């Protein structure tokens, strides 16, 4: 009962028994995976797995073979052998082996000898980019909570953690050159309850030191996950402007934003502001070795630029048509900056409207038309439509759902998501779809427990859409999910039950009204019209 479903699985003779006498051997190139597997199995066996040649009965052996880097073959009989194309494939094979064990193998206590019937698995992912956005800017998560989420991503064979570190409501990464970004920008005096409800009156904040983030990056790398940082600009920047008012367009000081939605306060387009954020990125690049950096570009109102003499002079000097092209020029200053340092910019699909930098990757979130337009223009794409994979959206229509926001997005809806948009299928441009990512946006998710409820089990359904074949089998997935939920129970994940929320998970009253279906549809129609013109 493996999640995500492998390419091929069949029964074989024999039975493997995991116990205190089990040994583990690995090719030198796979030693780090072997160390991880020892650590995961030690609580079950009551001690470290013994070293051995790997050929004896009761042994586990990790071997390099002639396979793609993320592919593996798993053979289980009297012994276990994982043949992989590289450390990633070996890690995924080890995750599959753990799923063949009873759910008790996920508990941090001895479970006695555990038996696995003979099995053979051949497997490899369908997409190279299998990601999840974790928004720590709106509601801060402790380092421990981030590391736990990485483990849960790894269990599901996801390989990109898009860490959303800055926004209007908080700046979460230490920048040593500009200490006020965290001294001021990491803290807000209160938060809005619900999407448009009353204020809670409670200060909120926190940030990660550079050493914290290096630890997160290393921890994720051992689990074959790349951490991709997001530093938002030119919109979603009120926390930075509160810390350094000279970055903004107004003469009046700002506070870190306490409400949700799209804010009108954006960066100015002065040379000094460009230099400021290039300095920020220099430190970010030292922390994150990822080849990708997300620079936002989304939801940037142009009102302040229209009213700014400096912005209007910049438009005239550059011979630009309007503020959309001004944003395109602004983003290219940073896209080129990253390219000169061997990195690639990722931007949300709004960057298409002003002209993205060459080589930029487009994250298509306003439906799928951004993915279509970007791919046809030759840009690589990460497909992440809000209507299919945004896990801040409620999971059912009932009044007891804790987050009355967005449209209803059920487990079945997520499982039906196809990363390659229908308009691209059969076109050469489809090759530009690198994969997809889901989103855990935390305006209305204020704790790790709420993340458990909102992300799971929908994240398991998403993982199958990006790993497994495009031939979906919902009844089969739901059968496998029953066993997978027992694993999540053993880990301690407080997921949403099929019958609905548990009493503590229900919504006490209405903390803010959700958008009406009519307003929601109007927003989708407006996005569709703009993106259709681009494609």
From residue 401, give the alpha-carbon distance in Å to each of 62, 138, 447, 517: 45, 20, 16, 17
Instruction: Tell me, yes or no, if 282 is annotated catalytic.
Output: no
SS3 355: coil
Whole-angstrom distance, CA of residue 181 vs CA of residue 203: 17
Catalytic residue among 70, 167, 168, 464: 167
From residue 337, give the alpha-carbon distance in Å to each of 275, 358, 362, 505: 11, 12, 17, 45
Task: Name 383's bridge partners.
Answer: 364, 436
Question: Are the C-beta atoms of 157 and 223 separated by less than 8 Å?
Answer: no
Question: Are the C-beta atoms of 164 and 228 separated by less than 8 Å?
Answer: no
Catalytic residue among 151, 190, 299, 427: 299
Cβ neighbours around 128 below 10 Å, total: 13
Whole-angstrom distance, CA of residue 442 vs CA of residue 436: 19
Write down the residue that tokens 């791919």 correspond to: 375
> Token pair of 393, please?
């959206």
Question: Are the C-beta atoms of 461 and 477 separated by less than 8 Å?
Answer: yes
Whole-angstrom distance, CA of residue 159 vs CA of residue 382: 13
SS3 68: coil
Q: Three-state SS string across 228-240, please?
A: EEEEEECCCCHHH
Instruction: Tell me, yes or no, if 167 is annotated catalytic.
Output: yes
355: alpha, beta or left? (left if phi > 0; alpha if psi -120 to 50): left
Whole-angstrom distance, CA of residue 17 vs CA of residue 463: 29
Catalytic residue among 139, 156, 162, 236: 236
To 5 degrees, how large is the angle CA 138–CA 140–CA 142?
160
Instruction: Tell me, yes or no, if 236 is annotated catalytic.
Output: yes
Q: What are phi and psi of 392, to 5 degrees?
A: -85, -10
β-bridge pairing 187-188 and 204-205: antiparallel
SS3 141: coil
Query: What sign results for the dihedral spanned by CA atoms 418, 229, 403, 461?
Result: positive
The set of residues, in sequence order, having a beta carbon less than 8 Å from that of 244 and lying 6+ positions away, is 178, 180, 181, 276
* Residues annotated as part of the active site: 167, 236, 299
């Amino acid at each position: 009962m493996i999640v995500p479903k492998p390419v091929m699985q069949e029964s074989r003779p024999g039975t493997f028994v995991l116990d205190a006498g089990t040994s583990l051997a690995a090719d030198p190139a796979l030693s780090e995976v072997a160390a991880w597997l020892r650590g995961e199995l030690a609580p079950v066996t009551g001690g470290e797995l013994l070293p051995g040649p790997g050929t004896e009965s009761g042994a586990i052996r990790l071997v390099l073979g002639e396979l793609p880097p993320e592919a593996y073959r798993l053979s289980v009989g009297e012994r276990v052998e994982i043949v992989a194309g590289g450390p990633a494939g070996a890690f995924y094979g080890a995750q599959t082996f753990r799923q063949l064990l009873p759910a008790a193998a996920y508990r941090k206590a001895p479970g006695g000898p555990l038996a696995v019937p003979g099995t053979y698995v051949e497997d490899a992912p369908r997409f190279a980019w299998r990601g999840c956005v974790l928004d720590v800017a709106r509601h801060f998560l402790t380092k421990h909570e981030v590391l736990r989420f990485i483990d849960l991503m790894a269990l599901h064979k996801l390989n990109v953690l898009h860490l959303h570190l800055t926004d209007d409501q908080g700046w979460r990464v230490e920048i040593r050159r500009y200490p006020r970004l965290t001294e001021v920008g990491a803290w807000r005096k209160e938060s809005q309850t619900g999407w448009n409800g009353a204020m809670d009156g409670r200060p909120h904040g926190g940030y990660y030191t550079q050493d914290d983030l290096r630890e997160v990056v290393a921890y994720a790398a051992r689990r074959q996950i790349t951490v991709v940082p997001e530093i938002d600009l030119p919109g979603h920047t009120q926390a930075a402007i509160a810390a350094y008012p000279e970055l903004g367009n107004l003469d009046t000081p700002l506070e870190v934003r306490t409400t949700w939605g799209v804010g009108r306060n954006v960066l100015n387009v002065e040379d000094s502001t460009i230099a400021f954020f290039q300095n920020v990125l220099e430190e970010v690049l030292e922390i994150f070795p990822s080849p990708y950096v997300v620079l936002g570009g989304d939801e940037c109102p142009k009102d302040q630029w229209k009213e700014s003499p400096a912005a209007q002079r910049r438009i005239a000097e550059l011979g630009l048509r309007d503020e959309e092209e001004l944003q395109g020029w602004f983003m290219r200053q940073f896209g080129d900056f990253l390219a000169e340092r061997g990195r690639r910019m990722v931007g949300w699909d709004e960057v298409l409207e002003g002209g993205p930098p060459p080589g930029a990757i487009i994250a298509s979130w306003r439906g799928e038309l951004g993915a279509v337009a970007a791919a046809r223009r030759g840009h690589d794409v990460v497909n992440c439509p809000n209507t299919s994979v945004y896990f801040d959206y409620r999971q059912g229509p009932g009044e007891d759902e804790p987050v009355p926001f967005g449209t209803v997005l059920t487990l079945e809806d997520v499982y039906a998501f196809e990363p390659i948009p229908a308009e691209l299928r059969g076109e050469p441009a489809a090759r530009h779809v690198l994969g997809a990512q889901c989103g855990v946006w935390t305006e209305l998710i204020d704790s790790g427990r709420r993340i458990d409820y909102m992300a799971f089990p929908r994240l398991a359904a998403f993982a199958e859409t990006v790993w497994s074949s495009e031939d979906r089998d919902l009844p089969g997935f739901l059968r496998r999910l029953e066993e997978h939920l027992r694993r999540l129970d053993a880990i301690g994940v407080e997921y949403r039950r099929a019958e609905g929320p548990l009493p503590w998970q229900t919504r006490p009253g209405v903390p803010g009204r959700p958008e009406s279906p009519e307003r929601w549809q109007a927003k989708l129609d407006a996005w569709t019209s703009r993106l259709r013109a681009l494609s």
